Amino acid sequence: MNLRFALFTLFASVLILTGCQAGADSTQAETPPPTLALDVATATIPAATATSQPEATNVPAATEIAEATQAPATEIAVNATATPEVSAATPIPPAMPILLTIPKIGVSASIESVANDSTDRMDVPQGVQNVAWWNLGPLPGAPGNSVISGHLDNYLQEPAVFWRLRELVPGDTLSVRDARGINHTFEVVSSELYDHDQVPLDVIFGDAVRIRPNLILITCEGAWDAGARNYDQRFVVYTKMVE
Each residue's pLDDT tens digit, 109-132: 999 999 878 877 778 899 999 999
Ranges in the chain, pLDDT < 50: 1-19, 24-81, 83, 86, 207, 209
131 CB neighbour count, 10 Å cutoff: 28
| The pLDDT value given to residue 242 | 93
Using alpha carbons, select from 218, 88, 81 the residue that is nearest to residue 145. 218
Domain that holds residue 28: 3-40+92-241
Number of domains composing the chain = 1
What's the CA gap between 40 and 43, in Å, rounded? 9
- Whether 62 is in a domain gets the answer no
pLDDT in tens, 199-238: 776 777 654 546 788 999 999 999 988 887 788 899 999 9
**220 within domain boundaries:** yes
In a domain, 198, yes or no: yes
- What DSSP character marks residue 71? S
Q: Is 79 part of a structural domain of the chain?
A: no
DSSP per position, 65-130: HHHHHTS-HHHHHHH--PPPP-PPPPPPPP--EEEEEEGGGTEEEEEEEE-B-TTSSB---SSTTS
Residue 228's domain is classified under what CATH number? Answer: 2.40.260.10
What are the helix (H) ranges across 56-199?
Answer: 61-69, 73-79
What is the C-alpha separation between 21 and 161, in angstroms, rounded? 11
* Residue 75 covered by a domain: no
